[in-house]
Amino acid sequence: MPTTRRSPYICHVLVCTNDRQGRRKSCADGNSAQVRAALKKEVGERGWRGKVRVSPSGCLGLCADGPNVLIYPQKIWFPGVSTADVPDIVARMAQIVDTA
Ligand code: FES
């Protein structure tokens, strides 16, 4: 039986960066790596390190609607994101941090 612990993060932001190299639609087609980098920068600038974790992920199974960003455990899904959406995603993250 594996040991379990409580997550140290208020939320975990998963940014799909899966890249199928054009063989099939994947989130990397929409510059999801840039979205991830921008979100990480915001987390650092807002002093959220240790509270909010932005991580790249493999395929989240929602490819047709990508690029995808999911926030857990709040179960928030941002489909079809671009770097232009980063301020709105960060605003939602701020709501989560402020109410934690
Ligand atoms: S490639 Fe991103 S959800 Fe599948």
Domain boundaries, the chain: 11-98
Express as a percent the part of the chain with pLDDT over 70: 100
The predicted structure's pLDDT at residue 11: 98
- How far apart are the C-alpha atoms of 35 and 69, rounded to whole Å? 9
CA 1 – ligand 1 centroid, Å: 31
The predicted structure's pLDDT at residue 62: 98
The predicted structure's pLDDT at residue 99: 97
CA of 59, closest atom in ligand 1: 4
Report residues whose beta carbon is within 6 angstroms of any ligand 1 atom.
16, 18, 26-27, 59-63, 66, 68
CA 93 – ligand 1 centroid, Å: 21
And the tokens for 99?
């109410």
- The model's pTM: 0.96
Report the CATH number of the 11-98 domain.
3.40.30.10
Instruction: Tell how many helices (H) and how many strands (E) occur in the chain.
Output: 2, 4
The predicted structure's pLDDT at residue 9: 98
In the chain, which stretches have pLDDT less than 70?
Answer: none
Query: Which DSSP helix (H) or strand (E) runs through 15?
Result: strand 11-16
The predicted structure's pLDDT at residue 72: 98
**Is residue 17 within 8 Å of residue 29, measured between CB atoms?**
no
- How far apart are the C-alpha atoms of 77 and 43, rounded to whole Å? 18
